[in-house]
């Protein structure tokens, strides 16, 4: 069968149309042969993104943006809908992944997908609608950095202007004269410091001889101490010997004698407490004590009577006459005289 020229022309035309349609779809973001999984994401604004921009996953392009539309019926924060596809059938988007419009590189923008680590919630199905965010573009970031710097520069310029104004006010005629006066005072102060230094130098020269004498005396004292070193050693040795003698004293014997004396004293006190001996009877026996009191009272009465009537107890004769009284034997008279002598 012979193919005619018209048939060839028709086949070529159909192929060209098919290639044209496929190329247009490819330029729109679809794969050349189609079959891509399509998703929808909503943003508050487009962020300057355009169709046919790339969809990036970990820096690797995995799809294209098909369309960017403004949806009136949606919420104000989700009125821009971006339709994009994933051209790799092995890539699934987990639920909770971050869909962000931002700069892929320095010159192009696109959608950046950050996969969620938690896969327990499953994956988005093709045609699913997701929420996205818009990253700040480069100009916004530069402006965010530049605005504080600009404000600081403006504040600095105001401060510089105030400083220049103050400096200008300082350098008037009055300020100049005050500055000259201050310089004169500084010069006078330096001159006075020089005079003080000169006086200190003269003082050091005058006192130099006295300092030399002091040092000579100190040297003489140290020399004398060195000469007396043996004597000092002897004194220290004597002190040590005295201390050694005190250490070697028989303190044990002294303590033993004191202990024995205390024990004897305790025995005497125990005998007194138990009523033994004269002192014990005097302390413990009330009858003995009462007898002593009674005897003492009788002696006092006897002495009183003796002072009033001595003739009753002593025989005195004058010229052969006798005074009446109580006759006493020589022994009784001797005892009475002993008692009277004791009282005197």
Contact 65, 55 (CB under 8 A): yes
Question: pLDDT value at position 168?
Answer: 66
Query: What is the DSSP code (8-state) at residue 320?
Result: T
Q: Which stretch of DSSP H or E encloses residue 242? A: helix 229-248
Question: pLDDT value at position 128?
Answer: 92
Task: Tally helices (H) and strands (E) across the chain.
Answer: 8, 10
Question: pLDDT value at position 76?
Answer: 73
Write the pLDDT tens digit of every residue in 134-181.
887 555 555 566 667 777 777 877 787 777 776 666 555 555 666 677
Question: pLDDT value at position 48?
Answer: 85
Question: Looking up tokens 């033993």, which residue turns up?
Answer: 256
Question: pLDDT value at position 84?
Answer: 92
For residue 109, give the nearest of 134, 92, 91 by alpha carbon: 134
Extents of the domains making up the chain? 35-135, 285-343
Question: pLDDT value at position 147?
Answer: 65
Within a 10 A sphere around the Cβ of 68, how many other Cβ atoms? 19
pTM, whole model, 2 decimals?
A: 0.37
Positions of the chain with pLDDT lower than 70, given as ranges: 1-3, 20-35, 137-147, 166-179, 207, 242-252, 279, 281-285, 288, 309-329, 332-333, 335-336, 339-344
Contact 62, 46 (CB under 8 A): no
Question: pLDDT value at position 123?
Answer: 93
Query: What is the DSSP code (8-state) at residue 334?
Result: H
Question: pLDDT value at position 42?
Answer: 94
């Amino acid at each position: 069968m012979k193919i005619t020229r018209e048939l060839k022309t028709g086949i070529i035309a159909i192929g060209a149309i098919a290639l044209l349609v496929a190329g247009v779809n490819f330029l729109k973001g679809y794969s050349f042969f189609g079959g891509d999984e399509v998703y929808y994401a909503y943003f508050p604004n487009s962020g300057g993104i355009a169709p046919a921009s790339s969809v990036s996953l970990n820096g690797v392009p995995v799809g294209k943006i098909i369309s960017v539309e403004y949806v009136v019926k949606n919420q104000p924060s989700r009125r821009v809908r971006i339709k994009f596809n994933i051209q790799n059938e092995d890539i699934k988007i987990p639920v909770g992944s971050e869909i962000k419009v931002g700069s892929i590189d320095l010159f192009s923008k696109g959608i950046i997908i950050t996969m969620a680590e938690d896969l327990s919630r499953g994956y988005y199905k093709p045609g699913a609608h997701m929420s996205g965010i818009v990253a700040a573009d480069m100009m916004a970031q530069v402006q965010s950095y530049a605005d504080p710097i600009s404000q600081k520069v403006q504040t600095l310029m105001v401060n510089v202007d105030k400083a220049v104004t103050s400096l200008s006010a300082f350098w008037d005629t009055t300020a100049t004269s005050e500055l000259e006066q201050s310089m004169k005072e500084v010069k006078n102060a330096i001159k006075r410091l020089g005079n003080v230094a000169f006086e200190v130098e003269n003082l050091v020269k005058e006192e130099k001889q006295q300092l030399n004498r002091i040092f000579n005396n100190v040297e003489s004292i140290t020399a004398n101490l060195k000469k007396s070193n043996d004597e000092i050693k002897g004194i220290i040795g004597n002190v040590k010997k005295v201390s050694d003698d005190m250490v070697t004293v028989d303190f044990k014997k002294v303590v033993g004698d004191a202990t024995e004396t205390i024990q004897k004293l305790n025995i005497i006190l125990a005998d007194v407490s138990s009523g033994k001996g004269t002192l014990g009877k005097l302390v413990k026996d009330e009858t003995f004590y009462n007898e002593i009191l009674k005897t003492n009272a009788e002696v006092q009465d006897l002495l009183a009577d003796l002072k009033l009537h001595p003739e009753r107890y002593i025989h005195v004769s004058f010229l052969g006459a006798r005074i009446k009284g109580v006759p006493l034997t020589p022994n009784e008279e001797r005892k009475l005289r002993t008692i009277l002598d004791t009282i005197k």
